[in-house]
């Protein structure tokens, strides 16, 4: 019978937490760092403006271990303290991130360098110290922050202003009134950061994703702000929107903010605001130290009922317009404080369908959630460009959603998601303190009385921060487990108080909570290798319902990346010894080796003959498996019974150099997994069904398509054609609709055990609009459903794809040229042609853009890649990238493939 432990991700209790960091730029992260002495502290004095409503982020810190600081807290936090021998750190930096930026350790992404960093250095508190200047003290001053991991005593100008017991939890938000301590000139703020223990504190942990950093990310990972203002402060400004669905013809906007009198006397404030050309004003009397919620409704201000509003849509469904709210509180005609809030107008619903699965709709239109699980940088370094590159990759892959299990990124992440139209599913993480009360014997301490207010404050802070981002479509208050009644009520109360506008989901697994009820999700795996036909079964992790995290496990990077991340000895072990523990896989004993994956690779494709052959087969296997996962969910989305409603690939990316759970690698290189996903999710797509051999057209566009012709041709591996059939006059609706063109016979005379299926879709003018090539076997993979475990289902016999190894060599020519594009980009256009005179196709022909030294140019967006061409066929591909990333080098194009010789041609 099916059996799954209480958690699908069990960490060995002896797993060690190790890590390190390089510099704060994307390019430097990829390079090596040599050990060196501590750098001299750089001046990091922040000039704070006195403008009412200003919020100035501290520009950085000097940091040092408390074990090396004998001076008192009062001395450390006083202006003029020398901080001799301290390390400079950025404005958002863990301890280890700062040490790595100072060149203290070798490249943490290579080999086992991460393991060599001593954990003992991070078992004591660390000091963070920063100076800021103010020109005058006529305005009030506040210290505003979140993102402290795990807790901190806080000091200003020699005085303690908060204790670690009160500044606890990575997500709690704190505002400290420091007006009485701030002086004209130089001021000092200091944090004594406590060590992080994810199993004991409500912070962040790494579960089984990667080898965790030895400092466990202790530090300050969000901006610390110095706010200035007058007698009345404005806080919590936001807009509650109600869109008329399905007409989308009008939207009601309700504006809310809290006005807080900071003085000992009653005052009358005037709160005025605007959204575009719509303005509104109220007079608000406030008693001494009173806080009052100020509300502007459409009933009072009819212009807040918009006609023909600009509606925000996910990418591919419409535009992403945003509105801006501006508020000012004035006292006696003088501005006291200001607030700004960007928001979008959209409607999100996620009811349970008749099968109990959660079905999302945006603005009245059903959406199949096609997503990936997000990992930040392992050392929580924020780099906007690097994050933006990954989000652009998500769009390139045809994905519409990113799930954040814990590690909820800074505001800029959600700003980018809003801008690009990428839906987000943030929520709390599993397998540590967050679920300690409900996960039985799994990792994570039980809660004490002190944890409940931290959890509720965390929920309140994140709800207030995320609620107006139109990209945020839910909050998952549980992951592997749903919260108990007390914890859930605290979460829901906090969400309600924040005017949370979208569905709250009890868990990412198939759990129910006392108040929210069924999650409508499933977490049935797999997390390790299974064959492509697995995805078509409407059971376990197959294409039915909403699977919140799932994949066939390992995603072996390209050969270029493997050489960057592993030593020669480790690379030998990778393909020679399936039972060997792989440091770059996971600290979990369940996922510590590649045994299941390597056995399948050899069983289906034949034993690898070397590292290059291993990687070559891995890319082919990952392409077919990832493609099948997304194709199965796409095909089943419109089924009348047990439809697929969502799938989240586990994972979208890795925060480290990894051998599993990633559609692209740490350096943003793209292999079989990437292009398999890109193929499956193309806008108008022809695909083959592993379960019933049907050829199906799926239309991911909004508009319907007609006049289509679908053709399927089967070939032996020598290129001999054995079957050919077309269906013309096809039409298919929009928004994920499908149409079945034809079904391939169960038996075709003369077909070799391993064979190829070429699917081509043409439009009414005969233009090819989708091409898809499969490598298949007359001997299918046999799945042992009865022995399914929580992380995979065994395969008792493999499909025979070994015939691919006997394919003849295919001759391929390539020519390339490069031109300048808008916004500092360049585009390289590549024409690839199969010049062979026989019948043999060039299977999975890969094109890589490289520099003069042969190093991949990354990131890059390809129109298509890893293509299969028959003799006489050609295709033209484009690669778009930042010109500056060439660093003056002339681009070249490296062409390789399953059965083609590698060649490199200029792309001038």
Q: What is the 3-state secondary structure (H, E, C) of 325-347?
A: EEEEEEECCEEEEEEEEEECECC
Measured CA to CA, the distance from residue 568 to residue 565 in angstroms comes to: 10
Distance CA 906, CA 222 (A): 44
If you search the block for the tokens 């420091």, which residue do you land on? 178
| Euclidean distance between CA atoms 117 and 108, whole angstroms | 9
Percent of the chain clearing pLDDT 70 (strictly above): 95
Asked about 873 being catalytic, the answer comes back as no
Question: Would you call 817 helix, strand, or coil by DSSP?
Answer: strand
Residue 3: the pLDDT is: 32
Q: Tell the residue number behind the tokens 């993102």, with chain if given.
A: 147
SS3 call for 193: strand
Whether the predicted pLDDT of 134 surpasses 60: yes
Chain mean pLDDT for the chain: 94
Rg of the chain, C-alpha, whole Å: 29
pLDDT for position 29: 36
Among 518, 536, 526, smallest CA distance to 354 is for 518
Chain centroid offset of residue 485 CA: 30
Rounded to whole angstroms, the Cα distance separating 893 from 815 reads 8
Tell me the CA end-to-end span of the chain in Å, nearest whole number: 61
pLDDT at 175 over 90: yes
Phi, psi of 570, deg, nearest 5: -65, -35
Q: Name the E strands within 390-490.
A: 401-405, 423-427, 475-476
The reported pLDDT for the residue numbered 676 is: 98
Given a cut of 60, whether residue 520 has pLDDT beyond it is yes
Check if 300 is active-site: no
pLDDT in tens, 691-714: 999 999 999 999 999 999 999 999
Q: Which residues pair with 771 in a beta bridge?
A: 760
| Residue 28 pLDDT grade (very low, low, confident, very high; cuts 50, 70, 90) | very low
The neighbour count for residue 328, using CB atoms within 10 Å, is 19
The pLDDT value given to residue 39: 41
φ, ψ at 626 (rounded to 5°): -65, -40
What stretch of H or E contains 492? Answer: helix 485-497
Q: Residue range 79-83: average pLDDT?
A: 95
Contact 557, 665 (CB under 8 A): yes
pLDDT digits (tens, 9 = 90+) for 245-276: 999 999 999 999 999 999 999 999 999 999 99
Mapped onto helix, strand or coil, the DSSP state of residue 458 is helix
Segment 437-446 mean pLDDT: 91
- Which pair of structure tokens corresponds to residue 218? 């202790």
Mean pLDDT of 888-902: 95
Question: SS3 for 259?
Answer: strand
pLDDT tens, 588-618? 999 999 999 999 999 999 999 999 999 999 9
pLDDT grade, residue 44 (50/70/90)? confident
Q: What 3-state class would DSSP assign to 303?
A: helix
Q: How confident is the model at residue 442, as a pLDDT?
A: 87
pLDDT reported for residue 14: 31
The predicted pLDDT at position 42 comes to 55
Q: Taking Cα atoms as reference points, which of 654, 633, 622, 599 lies closest to residue 796? A: 599
pLDDT in tens, 151-174: 999 999 999 999 999 999 999 999
Rounded Cα–Cα distance for residues 478 and 433 (Å)? 12
Could you give the percent of the chain with pLDDT greater than 90?
93
- Specify the pLDDT at position 78: 97
Please name the residues in contact with 247: beta carbons below 8 A apart, sequence gap of 6 or more: none
Active-site residue, from 396, 549, 665, 800: 549
* CA distance linking residue 677 with residue 689, whole number of Å: 16
- Average pLDDT in the 792-814 region? 96
Q: Rounded mean pLDDT of 878-907?
A: 95
> In the structure, what pLDDT confidence band is assigned to residue 441 with cuts at 50, 70 and 90?
confident
Residue 553: count of CB within 10 angstroms of its CB? 25
**Rounded-to-integer distance, Cα 346 and Cα 508, Å:** 24
Residue 238 scores a pLDDT above 80: yes
Q: Is the pLDDT of residue 501 over 60?
A: yes
- Please state, in angstroms and rounded to a whole number, the distance separating the CA atoms of residues 53 and 55: 7
pLDDT at 350: 98
Predicted confidence at residue 709, as pLDDT, reads 98
CB 514 within 8 A of CB 506: no
Which of these, 158, 159, 176, 177, lies nearest to 167 by C-alpha position?
Answer: 176
Which secondary-structure segment (H or E) carries 675?
helix 672-680
Active-site residue identified among 480, 555, 631, 781: 480
Closest CA to 687 of 752, 605, 773: 773
Residue 170 neighbours by CB under 8 Å, 6+ apart: 146, 147, 148, 149, 150, 202, 203, 204, 221, 458
Please state the rounded mean pLDDT for residues 35-52: 66
Alpha helices (H) along 124-247? none
pLDDT digits (tens, 9 = 90+) for 324-356: 999 999 999 999 999 999 999 999 999 999 999
- The pLDDT, as a whole number, for residue 16 is 28
What count of other Cβ atoms lies within 10 Å of the Cβ of residue 300? 11
Would you state the pLDDT for residue 33? 34
Alpha helix ranges (H) inside 421-484? 451-466
pLDDT at position 1 is: 35
What does pTM read for this prediction?
Answer: 0.93
CB atoms within 10 A of CB 569: 9
Report yes or no: 189 and 181 within 8 Å, Cβ to Cβ: no
Answer whether 329's CB lies under 8 Å from 234's CB.
yes
Closest by CA position to 841, among listed 714, 746, 681 = 714
Distance CA 865, CA 271 (A): 56
A 10 A CB-CB count for 488 gives: 20
Q: Is the pLDDT of residue 20 over 90?
A: no
For 118-131, give one letter per residue: b (16+ CB within 10 A) or e: eeebbeebbbbbbb
Tokens of residue 532, six digits: 């492509």
User: pLDDT tens digits for 383-421?
Assistant: 999 999 999 999 999 999 999 999 999 999 999 999 999
């Amino acid at each position: 019978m099916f059996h799954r432990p209480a958690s699908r991700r069990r960490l060995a209790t002896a797993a060690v937490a190790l890590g390190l960091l390089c510099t704060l730029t994307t390019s430097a992260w990829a390079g090596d760092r040599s050990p060196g002495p501590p750098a001299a502290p750089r001046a990091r004095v922040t000039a704070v403006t006195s403008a009412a409503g200003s919020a100035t982020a501290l520009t950085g810190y000097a940091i040092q271990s408390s074990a090396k600081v004998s001076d008192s807290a009062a001395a450390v936090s006083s202006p003029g303290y020398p901080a001799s021998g301290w390390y400079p750190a950025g404005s958002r930096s863990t301890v280890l991130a700062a040490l790595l930026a100072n060149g203290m350790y070798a490249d943490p992404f290579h080999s086992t360098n991460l393991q060599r960093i001593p954990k003992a250095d991070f078992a004591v508190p660390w000091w963070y110290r920063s100076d800021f200047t103010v020109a005058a003290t006529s305005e009030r001053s506040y210290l505003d922050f979140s993102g402290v991991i795990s807790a901190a005593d806080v000091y200003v100008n020699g005085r303690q202003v908060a204790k670690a017991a009160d500044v606890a939890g990575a997500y709690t938000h704190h505002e400290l009134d420091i007006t009485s301590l701030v002086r004209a000139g130089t001021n000092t703020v200091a944090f004594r950061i406590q060590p992080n223990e994810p199993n004991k504190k409500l912070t962040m942990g790494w579960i089984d994703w990667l080898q965790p950093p030895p400092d466990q990310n202790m530090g300050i990972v969000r901006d610390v702000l110095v706010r200035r203002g007058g007698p009345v402060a404005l806080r919590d400004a936001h807009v509650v929107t109600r869109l008329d669905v399905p007409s989308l013809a009008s939207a009601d906007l309700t504006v809310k903010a809290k006005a807080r009198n900071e003085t000992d006397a009653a005052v009358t404030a005037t709160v005025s605001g605007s959204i575009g050309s719509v303005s509104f004003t109220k007079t608000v009397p406030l008693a001494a130290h009173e806080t009052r919620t100020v509300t502007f409704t459409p009933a009072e201000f009819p212009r807040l009922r918009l006609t023909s509003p600009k509606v925000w849509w996910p990418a591919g469904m419409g535009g992403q317009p945003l509105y801006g709210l501006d508020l000012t509180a004035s006292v006696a005609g003088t501005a006291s404080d200001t607030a700004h809030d960007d928001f979008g107008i959209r409607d999100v619903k996620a009811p349970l369908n008749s099968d109990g699965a959660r079905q999302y709709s945006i603005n009245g239109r059903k959406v199949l959630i096609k997503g990936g699980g997000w990992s930040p940088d392992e050392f929580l370094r924020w780099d906007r460009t690097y994050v933006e590159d990954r989000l652009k990759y998500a769009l390139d892959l045809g994905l519409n959603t990113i799930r954040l299990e814990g590690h909820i990124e800074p505001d800029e992440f959600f700003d980018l998601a809003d801008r690009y139209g990428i839906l987000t599913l943030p929520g709390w993480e599993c397998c540590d303190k967050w679920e300690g009360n409900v996960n039985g014997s799994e990792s994570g301490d039980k809660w004490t009385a002190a944890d409940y207010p931290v959890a509720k404050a965390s929920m309140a802070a994140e709800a207030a921060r995320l609620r107006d981002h139109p990209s945020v479509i839910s909050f998952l208050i549980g992951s592997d487990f749903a919260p108990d009644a007390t914890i859930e009520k605290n979460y829901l109360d906090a969400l309600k108080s924040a005017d949370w506008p979208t569905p709250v989901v009890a868990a990412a697994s198939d759990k129910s909570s006392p108040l929210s009820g069924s999650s409508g999700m499933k977490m049935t795996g797999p997390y390790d290798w299974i064959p492509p036909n697995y995805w078509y079964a409407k059971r376990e992790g197959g294409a039915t319902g909403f699977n919140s995290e799932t994949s066939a496990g390992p995603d072996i990077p390209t050969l270029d990346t493997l050489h960057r991340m592993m030593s020669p000895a480790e690379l030998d072990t990778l393909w020679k010894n399936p039972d060997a523990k792989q440091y770059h896989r996971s600290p979990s004993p369940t996922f510590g080796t590649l045994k299941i994956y390597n056995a399948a690779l050899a069983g289906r494709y034949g034993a690898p003959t070397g590292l290059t052959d291993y990687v070559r087969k891995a890319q082919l296997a990952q392409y077919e498996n990832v493609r099948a996962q997304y194709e199965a969910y796409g095909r089943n989305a419109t089924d009348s019974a047990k439809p697929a409603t969502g799938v989240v690939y586990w994972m979208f990316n890795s925060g480290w150099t990894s051998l599993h759970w990633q559609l692209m690698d740490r350096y943003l290189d793209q292999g079989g997994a990437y292009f398999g996903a890109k193929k499956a999710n193309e806008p108008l797509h022809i695909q083959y069904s592993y379960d019933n051999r049907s050829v199906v057209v799926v239309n991911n566009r909004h508009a319907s398509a007609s006049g289509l012709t679908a053709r399927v041709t089967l070939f032996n591996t020598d290129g001999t054609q054995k079957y050919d059939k077309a269906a013309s006059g096809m039409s298919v609706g929009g928004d994920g609709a499908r149409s079945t063109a034809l079904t391939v016979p169960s038996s075709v005379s003369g077909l070799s055990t391993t064979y190829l299926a070429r699917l081509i879709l043409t439009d009414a003018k005969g233009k090819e609009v989708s091409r898809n090539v499969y490598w298949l076997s007359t001997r299918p993979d046999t799945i042992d459903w009865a022995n399914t475990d929580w992380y995979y289902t065994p395969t008792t016999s493999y499909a025979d794809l070994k015939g691919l190894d006997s394919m003849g060599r295919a001759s391929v020519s390539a020519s390339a040229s490069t031109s300048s594009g808008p916004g500092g980009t360049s585009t390289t256009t590549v024409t690839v042609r199969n010049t062979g005179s026989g019948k043999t196709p060039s299977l999975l022909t890969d094109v890589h853009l490289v520099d003069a030294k042969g190093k991949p140019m990354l990131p890059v967006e390809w129109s298509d890649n890893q293509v299969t061409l028959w003799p006489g066929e050609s295709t033209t591909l484009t690669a778009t990238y930042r010109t500056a990333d060439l660093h003056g080098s002339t681009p070249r194009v490296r062409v390789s493939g399953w059965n083609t010789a590698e060649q490199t041609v200029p792309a001038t």
